[in-house]
Chain A
């Protein structure tokens, strides 16, 4: 079985400060983990993915995430927030069970203050 928990429903940061969006997962097997971003009234865009290679994954727009098996976490970070980062972020796990379907977290809304 697989599950994912996004620990914060809302995160607010000031422009230029670091971003941390937290995600914990549960999986019976070696999972693939993803972060997607969704801007208002748009589809989801892949930010980055972990698929059992390097544990520190770099994505688009300066985001990165670290897979920590011992902590079952896959937190998303960015050193310096930009106004354009304001969006909804989803953490997703896929471990080949559940008929190959992915499990989504409930999402974290990131607000960036000027």
Chain B
């Protein structure tokens, strides 16, 4: 069966420090991968999605970047965090091409920038 792992679960970082959140998927090949952010009391905002290795699409201009160095690995990064980067970050995957669009989510990473 397919599983998705996301870490770290919780992170407290000072303003201006770097960020790296990692997500890996097991049990499937060539998934579509997504990073979402959820601000407190808000809905989900799509940040990045990827349909293949090295292929990243950004949805909103921001202080963050994403990379997909391997088929089932998706990394969210920042060189210098801002206070506004605080939030709950969710990685998700879906079946590419023939899928219905169903998303499978990780457990999330809570980022607090101080």
Residues on A lying within 8 angstroms of B by beta carbon are: 32, 34, 36, 41-46, 49, 51, 90, 92, 94, 96, 99-102, 104-107
Cβ of B57: which chain A residues have Cβ within 8 Å of it?
A: 99
A34 to B42, CA, bound (A): 19
Closest 5 CB pairs of A and B: A94-B101, A43-B105, A106-B43, A44-B105, A32-B100
Q: Are B110 and A41 in contact (CB under 8 A)?
A: yes
Cβ of B83: which chain A residues have Cβ within 8 Å of it?
A: none
A106 to B39, CA, bound (A): 12
Given contacts A41-B110, A43-B106, A100-B32, contact A49 B100 (CB under 8 A): yes
Please tell me if B85 contacts chain A, counting CB pairs below 8 Å. Answer: no
A51 to B110, CA, bound (A): 32
Q: Are A104 and B90 in contact (CB under 8 A)?
A: no
Q: How large is the interface on B (under 10, 10 to 19, 20 to 34, 35 or more residues)?
A: 20 to 34
A-contact 0/1 string along B47-76, CB 8 Å cutoff = 001010000010000000000000000000
Contact of A107 among B43, B88, B94, B106 (CB under 8 A): B43
Q: Are B102 and A34 in contact (CB under 8 A)?
A: yes
Given contacts A90-B44, A101-B49, contact A44 B101 (CB under 8 A): no
Most interface-central of A43, A44, A99 (chain B CB within 10 A): A43
Please tell me if B103 contacts chain A, counting CB pairs below 8 Å. Answer: yes
Q: Are B102 and A42 in contact (CB under 8 A)?
A: no
A43 to B44, CA, bound (A): 11
Query: Who on chain A is nearest to B9 by CB?
Result: A41
Q: Are A43 and B101 in contact (CB under 8 A)?
A: no
Q: Are A45 and B108 in contact (CB under 8 A)?
A: no
Most interface-central of B101, B108, B110 (chain A CB within 10 A): B101
A96 to B6, CA, bound (A): 27
Given contacts A41-B110, A105-B43, contact A100 B105 (CB under 8 A): no
Contact of A43 among B42, B46, B102, B107 (CB under 8 A): B107
